[in-house]
Amino acid sequence: MEMTSLILIAAISGGTSLLFAVLGGILNEKAGVINLGTEGIMLIGAVMSAIVFLQTQNLLITFLVMLGATGILGFLHAFLCITLRANQIVSGLAVTLFGSGLSAYIGKSVAGAPIPVSIPKIKLTFLDSIPLLSVFANLDIFIWSSMIVSIVLYLYMYKTSWGLHLKAVGDNPSTSDAMGISVIAFRYFHVVIGSMFMGCAGFYLIMAYSPNWIEGMTSGRGWIAIALIIFARWNPIYALFGAYFFGGLDSLGFRMQIYDLNIPSYFLKMIPYIATIIVLMFIGWKNRSKPSIKPKSLGNPYFREQRY
């Protein structure tokens, strides 16, 4: 295969875990809840997948247990932010700190153990001969499902009445409450489901991307995903491309080492982090005079009896 295809494949497989995390983040933020626990939830998702898979060798059970564990963590965040009305930023930081501590604690026994997993792949042999589309000829099912999920989420958010309710809850909760939408239930639901998506990000990371558990193996991907939410303008389809763009940057470091450039690998590994900052600065500069498009009540707890 020629170089462009290789880079594209690397971008897609590197971007898939980011994509799941971004989609989860979008669901959270659309409902008006900032979830900075992405990094911690991804780590818990990854470590639970590693532990359960090494015990059971069953992909489905692993997946379900992972969903349960990350759902609980998401529920905790939701409880703090929605019911107790705590500061969402501090709560998210607590999730991340707790998640990285807990994952290191329970992952001690499986650290470094290779995970003998083979993810089923979908072979589309007829694409092999077409130049650019040959990229899609041999992708695993999680990549395909991540693409489908982002399209489904797009349809859900923009083409269904539930999606409209979601937008209303995130923009103006008191009006949606007056309309008869249960703000609390909507927020809980989307925070928990969104956290499960973040868990899927960790699941993909450890099952397909680098199959052995290392402490702190997400190395900032959760935070890049949070930045990508802004980059994607809270739109799942943009998130798809944004994730692949950053996935490509992530693997660029590895690729460039092949060419034996005189750049130390440490600097190549900095690329995704610095690129995140630069991209955000560019977006900020471009939109400097436009009104913000983020959900309007993002970060504000809803309190029905609030007097203004």
Partner 1 sequence: MSQKSSSEPLSVDIRNDNNRSRFFPLKIEFDPHRKTGGWWVPILSIIVALLFCAIFIVINGMNPITVYAKMLVGAFGSSFGISETIVKAIPLLLCGLGVAVAYKISIWNIGAEGQFILGAIGATAVTIFFPNMPGALYIPLMMVGGAAAGAIWGLFTAVPRTHFQVNELITSLMLNYVALLLLDYLVYGPWRDPQGFNFPGTPEFTPYQMLASIGGTRLHFGLVFAILAVVFFAFFLAKTRWGYELRILGANPIAAQNAGIKISKHILIVMMISGGLAGFAGAIEVSGVAGRLMYGISPGYGYTAIIVAWLAKLNPWAMIVTSLFIGGLIVGGYSVQTIGLPSSFSSMLQGAILFCLISGEMLNKYRLKRVN
Q: Is the CB of 79 or the CB of 241 nearer to partner 1?
A: 79
Interface with partner 1, residue 219, by CB under 8 A: yes
CB of 189 vs partner 1, minimal distance in Å: 20
Which residues neighbour 277 within 8 Å (Cβ) at sequence distance 6 or greater?
Answer: none
One residue of 117, 214, 215, 300 binding partner 1 per CB under 8 A: 215
Q: Identify which of residues 107 and 248 has a Cβ nearer to partner 1 in the complex.
A: 107
84 is a site residue for partner 1 (CB under 8 A): yes
The piece of 55-63, 82-90, 140-148, 244-252 that touches partner 1 (CB under 8 A) is: 82-90
Interface region with partner 1, contact rule CB under 8 A, candidates 2-10, 62-70, 163-171, 214-222: 214-222
Q: Is 245 in the site for partner 1 (CB under 8 A)?
A: no
Q: Can you tell me which of 223, 233, 237, 257 binds partner 1, judged by CB under 8 A?
A: 223
| Binding flag, residue 65, partner 1 (CB under 8 A) | no
What does each C-alpha distance from 4 to 133, 136, 211, 255 come to in angstroms? 11, 13, 25, 12
Binding residue for partner 1, selected from 1, 108, 128, 210, defined by CB under 8 A: 108
Residue 176: CB minimum distance to partner 1, A: 15
Binds partner 1 (CB under 8 A): choice among 151, 220, 254, 261: 220
Stretch that binds partner 1, among 83-91, 129-137, 154-162, 206-214 (CB under 8 A): 83-91
- For the CB of residue 147, give the shortest distance to partner 1 in the complex, in Å: 25
Q: Could you list the residues that contact partner 1 (CB under 8 A)?
A: 36, 40, 76, 79-80, 84-87, 89-91, 93-102, 104-106, 108, 215, 219-220, 223-224, 226-227, 230, 264, 266-267, 269-270, 273-274, 276-277, 280-281, 284-285, 287-288, 303, 305-306
